[in-house]
Amino acid sequence: MAAYVKSGVVLSWLAVVGLMSGCGKKEQPPAPEPTPASASVAAPPAKPQEPLPTRQPGLWETTLSEEGSESQAQTMRICLDAATEKELGITGTDLNGNRCRNTAVSHLDDGSWGILAECNMGSGGKMEVSGSITGDYTRDYTMTLRSQTTGASLAHMNRVVNMTIRSKRLGACKADQKPGDVTLPGGDVSFNLFDMAGREPGPPK
């Protein structure tokens, strides 16, 4: 595995893919006043809730693109096992899984999945997310998300973001990789999500 790099590089990446912060975003007018939660995020069609299937263990490649962003799409690779899968956030790129308490998932008639979630991001505010997942979630899928953040301590984070996330399983993790290992484009930057969080896999203590 590549050597660990300065924390500033890693934190900059996590700010892009984990907190959806607005790096590379075109200049925009001030965010509008928050709308009531019931109106700000469209709920998926009424269907019985079902849990998403579990993604297959192995090495996954995920590419995130943000509508209206001047930055290029961000790509990362992550080594997954069942324990890591349970802790990942909605985008599959961070350990924010425990922050989203109100999550509704429905398997729709066309085979896609509808998702609706409310996530408490601490000082990053409250994030309401709606979207859909198409493809085979266990090995190759596309996710489109709309998120609205309110109450963040940094004013520029209070905004609406539309994202597309393309994720696919490449195969088994490399012999020198462990669950939670992340590699950024070029392979020169690598880190482990659990090491960055200062804890072992499992629910935060």
Residue by residue, what is the 3-state secondary structure of 47-75? CCECCCCCCCCEEEEEEEEECCECCCCEE
Q: Would you call 11 helix, strand, or coil by DSSP?
A: helix
pLDDT per position as a tens digit, 156-198: 899 999 999 999 999 999 999 999 999 988 777 788 888 887 7
Q: Are 3 and 182 in contact (CB under 8 A)?
A: no
pLDDT per position as a tens digit, 9-22: 344 344 444 434 33
Q: What domains lie within the chain, and their CATH numbers?
A: 48-197 (2.40.128)
The two structure tokens encoding residue 81: 């096992």
pTM exceeds cut of 0.75: no
